Structure 1
């Protein structure tokens, strides 16, 4: 079994992938495709594809979405960082998608949204 370790309040905790996904799903709202389409009509919504470029080249992207691979997201969303992208304004709702849901579920905790 794959497990990852993280320090919480100075204590080391082990998580397997299933536990990490369940924890993230408990705090990240999920919307239906119909709800997502309705949300995307607003200028206040940023649609973010966190797949790798080779994935988007194969299958395309949702019209109007921007692609920032999950591994580069913190660099792009950090307002104090040299690679900050102003499309990540804090007041915007970020609608995130990927292939299976794990990468998109983990985004809000790591990006501050």
Structure 2
């Protein structure tokens, strides 16, 4: 049987101590910034079920390191732009780990602290797939 030496919650707490976090209300106020790229790392089914931030770029969590790395055959040019990147997931756990990993790669970003879970309730716009 495997015995964990570090829990997922501990990993997230460590990541949060090392990265930039943005509150929901702050990100809502930033949406008109042309230098902002909101990156949704949730699964496509989550986006279909809950909707998504209009104009957000979808980058599945499992591919993000490869999409950000310009030397990767999977590199996406959007990540080569001189923009401010804010990543989000549903609750802020996956995006915290993502931003920590990207920081270790030398890629500057922030994440939505509470994730998409509080977005609509705090007045954030949501686009839905019909």
1:50-65 counterparts in 2 under 5 A?
50-65=41-56
1:96 matched to 2:82? The reply is no
Q: CA, structure 1 residues 2+55, in 2 after alignment: closer, same or farther (shift >3 Å)?
A: farther
Residue equivalent to 1:82:
73
Q: 2:57 aligns with which of 45, 66, 73?
A: 66
Runs of 5+ unmatched residues, structure 2 = 109-130
Give the root-mean-square deviation of aligned CA atoms: 1.8
Between the two structures, name the one with larger relative contact order (CA 8 Å, sep ≥ 6): 2
Instruction: Number of aligned residue pairs: give it.
Output: 103
Structure 2-normalised TM-score? Answer: 0.71
Residue 23 of structure 1 corresponds to 14
**Cα contact 2:18–2:100 (8 A) shared by 1:** no
TM-score, normalized by length of structure 1? 0.81
Partner residue in 1 for 2:128: none
Q: Is 1:32 matched with 2:40? A: no
